[in-house]
Structure 1
Amino acid sequence: MKDQTIIEAQMLIRKPASEVFDAFIDPEKTRHFWFTKASGKLEKGKTITWEWEMYKVSTQVIVKEIVPDEQITIAWNSPATTVEFIFNAVSADQTYVIIKNYGFGQQGADLVKEVMNNTGGFTTVLDGLKAYMEHGINLNLIADKFPAGK
């Protein structure tokens, strides 16, 4: 049975919703704050591979839903969970991004570990997104989260 736990991370990004949304759709932009390589842009119904080359890991992403400039819903990992990226336009040049992750198959200590890892991971993604979108800086947060040997 899938757990009903929902993890959530959020951040205000001082850019229009269309630009922030596109940063998640277009891997040439996403690679500046999250994964290093992707097999293509996110499109509804497609399965895309995301890679983190520094860790020699990848995951399959199934794009379940896209509402332009508002929401992206994917399934990913094994066992698969659902991730929703929600883009709320606060003003013409500010977007409140919420990432929700749910549908966990783990229980007990395994679930707690998964929730902690995913909450921290998505917070790091949003921190990197903010630096990239607002200041044009790639902070290398994902690569530096687990440097070689750690």
Structure 2
Amino acid sequence: MPYEFTVSGRIARSVHDVFEAVADPAMLSKYFTTGGAKGRLETGATVTWDFHDFPGAFPVHVVESAPDTKIVLRWDAAPDADGAEPYQTTVTITFEALNDGRTLVRIHEAGFHETEAGLKASYGNCEGWTGMLCALRVWIEHGINLRDGFYK
């Protein structure tokens, strides 16, 4: 069974505000994509994300974007070994309104190969998505860029 994981967190903002903070490249660039994001996360789009800790913009394919509900992305996984066939994983981000006015965000990534490299990549991405949720919460609730200077 290919490696996969789910991370989640609650954010004290409306579903719409939280969705927009992820879908809008200008907002995403303020707290997550430290090198910038280009392109809105809309169904069928291919956008680019760049990170100071992993320099070089890379493509992110938007499989589905349902406003205020879900975003499904596909992107290249870390290679298994030199010369190995490249492959992609699927990231599903869901947004759920809670009764107390907060939003529950779940991020599920699946499709990592059952190899040592696949296991390592899944742990790295799990760490990255957890960091994204923390940075999203601190930015949208308090206006603080948690990643500023963290990786460089």
**Counterpart in 1 of 2:93?**
85
**Counterpart in 1 of 2:138?**
131
1:90 and 1:96 in contact (8 A); partners too: yes
Query: The residue matched to 2:42 in structure 1 has which SS?
Result: coil
1:63 and 1:73 in contact (8 A); partners too: yes
**Counterpart in 2 of 1:40?**
39
Matches within 5 A, 1:68-147: 68-78=67-77, 79-91=87-99, 93-104=101-112, 106-140=113-147, 144-145=150-151, 147=152
What's the offset of the Cα at 1:44? 0.6
What's the offset of the Cα at 1:111? 2.2
TM-score calculated relative to the size of structure 2: 0.85
The whole-number CA distance in structure 2 between the counterparts of 1:83 and 1:55 is 18
1:7 and 1:118 in contact (8 A); partners too: no
The whole-number CA distance in structure 2 between the counterparts of 1:135 and 1:91 is 21
Structure 1: which 4+ aligned runs deviate by more than 4 Å? none
Which ranges in structure 1 are unaligned for 5 or more consecutive residues? none
TM-score calculated relative to the size of structure 1: 0.86
1:37 and 1:53 in contact (8 A); partners too: no
Which ranges in structure 2 are unaligned for 5 or more consecutive residues? 78-86
Q: How many residues align?
A: 142
2:2 and 2:114 in contact (8 A); partners too: no
CA RMSD of aligned residues (A): 1.7
The whole-number CA distance in structure 1 between the counterparts of 2:53 and 2:127 is 19
What's the offset of the Cα at 1:92? 6.3
Q: Which deviates the most, 5-14 or 107-116?
A: 107-116
| Counterpart residue identity of residue 132, structure 1 | W
The whole-number CA distance in structure 2 between the counterparts of 1:33 and 1:144 is 11
Deviations 1:20-57 (Å, cap 9, x if unpaired)? 00011101111122113122111111111111246422
The whole-number CA distance in structure 1 between the counterparts of 2:118 and 2:141 is 34
Query: The residue matched to 1:107 in structure 2 has which SS?
Result: coil
| Counterpart residue identity of residue 130, structure 1 | R
